[in-house]
Amino acid sequence: MQEEISILIQAQYPLIYLVTSEEERTERAIAMIAQAKSNQRRVFIWTVTHGIVEYGQSRHVTQHNTVSPEAAIQWVIQQKEPGIFIFKDLHPFIDAPATTRWLRDAIASFKDAQKTIILMSPMQQVPIELEKEVVVLDYPLPDLTELNQVLSRQLEQTKVRRTTTETREKLLKAALGLTRDEAEKVYRKAQVKAGRLTEAEVEIVLSEKKQLIRRNGILEYIEQDETLDSVGGLEELKRWLKQRSNAFTERAREYGLPQPKGMLILGVPGCGKSLIAKTTSRLWGLPLLRLDMGRVYDGSMVGRSEANLRNALKTAESISPAILFIDELDKSFAGSSGSSDSDGGTSSRIFGSFLTWMQEKTSPVFVMATANRVERLPGEFLRKGRFDEIFFVDLPTPEERQQIFNIHLSKRRREIARFDLEQLAKVSDGFSGAEIEQALVAAMYEAFAQDREFTQLDIIAAIKATLPLSRTMTEQVTALRDWARQRARPAAASVAEYQRLEF
């Protein structure tokens, strides 16, 4: 990134927009560029609190009357010497007509003047008047090399002279995705808390990532204790996931395998789609981040929703490899085609940005999405290459229902031999996994109210008292099956089970 900025400055690009929250680190990088023989320029920094100050000097040595953005840009125009002028957090003022006009005047005056204005802000906001003039760059977070310098300095301060390569690698990868300042703080935190920096302190470092997700507000860090064994049936889907359990390792890259992009799980509600997504995190040993599309949309400011999505995706990329989980994708993007009439086109822009990111992302972020109503999904989501695979989760077969009863009964009682699982599976024909669990819970409540242990008959009575979704929404379930038969891969063990149409 430093090389790219240096080239732009040498090429006399007048306006550069750096999206970053790491001011000091970015300032140091720009100062190093300015000191290079190919540039040799002075660096000035503007803030709304101190006006213009030359880099490296005390904040008290300011240029008079440059606190306002317009006065500061005018001062920059009047300078005759080559220079780099960093404006911090100009985004709240950049839409003001006077500020935009002064920036355009500055750009016009910079021809052959070897002067560059760099806008530095944690959020991107570019007026339409400047779109043709500005170069927007996302300043990257520290890589492993830079984090290694931070870790080495902390180890020196703790007088730890030697550490194993494996321990160092785990500590570094745990901090990947944090800013330099965050990495320094969390290494110090681990040292204060444990009095050392070893492999055992990796969890302390990872806790900082969880804080990062919480601060984001749009992503949710999901911790899952359940394993893939907690999912009844779906053997073909499980086999596919187990095959890719080491897909993000260096060994897979050396073998020549591409990184998995993602998968879409369609199916009847309550059949384990969300549970599969959550247990995959445990199987693959990757953090699971749930993207809440409801929190993405923000009508308080034009462009804010797009910025929310961009920041959420950048956060997910920063802590990759990771799984990005989007539940009920059909609800998130259902109205994107006609959003110009309802929300000024925000949904369409969000949808387009997300599709572009999915297509172009190079970071190891595996998108795992679920959907119930396939007819609501835009066609662009379903074309080949967008996801590695599209799976269809049907209602459980009799054998799968036995597995589901076995799983839920085993969670609640140690001894389940007294239950006839085959009979329960037969009585619950047409039930989803969620409906089976709720029938079992209802039977337990009935017995608990009578102060006795629940029995086989209690469960059967609860099942017969329940009208499953497969009967209340027969047309919808049949239509979904008809669509999936030719377009999706069955999640069950055999195609014959998948094509079963009787409830």
Q: Are residues 291 and 361 in the same domain?
A: yes
| End-of-domain residue from the set 216, 232, 252 | 216
At 306-362, the pLDDT tens digits run 778 887 888 888 778 889 998 888 877 765 554 444 455 677 788 888 888 888 888
User: Residues 450-461: pLDDT tens digits?
Assistant: 999 999 999 999
CATH number at residue 74: 3.40.50.300
Please count the structural domains in the chain. Answer: 4
Q: Quick one: 118 and 155 in the same domain? A: no
Residue 457 lies in a domain: yes
Task: Report pLDDT for 502.
Answer: 42
Claim to verify: residue 78 and residue 97 sit in the same structural domain: yes
Compute the average pLDDT of residues 291-311.
Answer: 72
Domain shared by 241 and 370, yes or no: yes
Of 200, 216, 232, which marks where a domain is finished? 216
> pLDDT of 343-359, one tens digit each?
556 777 888 888 888 88
Where are the strands (E) in 252-380, listed by range?
A: 262-267, 288-291, 322-326, 365-371
| 404 and 389 within one domain | no
Residue at 212 is within a domain: yes
Same structural domain, 39 and 122: yes
138, 161, 177: which is the final residue of a domain?
138
d(CA 159, CA 156): 5
b/e code 326-350 from CB counts within 10 Å (16+ = b): bbbbbebbbebeebeeebeebbbbb
Domain membership of residue 443 as a residue range:
398-429+433-467
Q: Are residues 244 and 123 in the same domain?
A: no
Least confident of 271-285, 431-445, 447-461: 271-285
127 and 151 housed in the same domain? no
Q: Which residue has the higher pLDDT, 481 or 97?
A: 97
Q: Are residues 454 and 341 in the same domain?
A: no
- Model confidence at 300, pLDDT cuts 50, 70, 90, reads low
Residue 457's CATH number? 1.10.8
Residues 160-215 pLDDT 10s:
556 777 778 778 877 877 888 888 888 888 888 877 777 677 777 777 777 777 77
* pLDDT above 70 (res 243): yes
Determine, yes or no, domain membership for 91: yes
**What gap in Å lies between CA 14 and CA 2, rounded to an integer?**
17
Q: Are residues 331 and 375 in the same domain?
A: yes
- 374 and 252, same structural domain? yes
- 191 and 296 belong to one structural domain: no
Taking each helix axis as running N to C, give the angle between helix 23-35 and helix 180-194, from 0 to 180 degrees, rounded to the nearest 10: 130
477 within some domain = no
Sheet containing 134-138, strands listed edge to edge, beginning at the edge strand earlier in sequence: 51-54, 42-47, 83-88, 115-121, 15-19, 134-138
Residue 134 lies in a domain: yes
Residue 499 within a domain: no
> What pLDDT digit, counting tens, does each position of 55-72 carry?
987 766 656 689 999 999
Task: Please report the pLDDT score of residue 45 as a whole number.
Answer: 95
Identify the burial level of 73 via C-beta atoms within 10 angstroms of its C-beta, where 0-12 means exposed, 13-18 middle and 19 or more buried: buried
Please compute Rg for the chain using Cα positions. 28
Residue 484 located in a structural domain: no
The model's confidence at residue 495, banded by pLDDT at 50, 70 and 90, is: very low
Evaluate whether residue 485 is within a structural domain: no
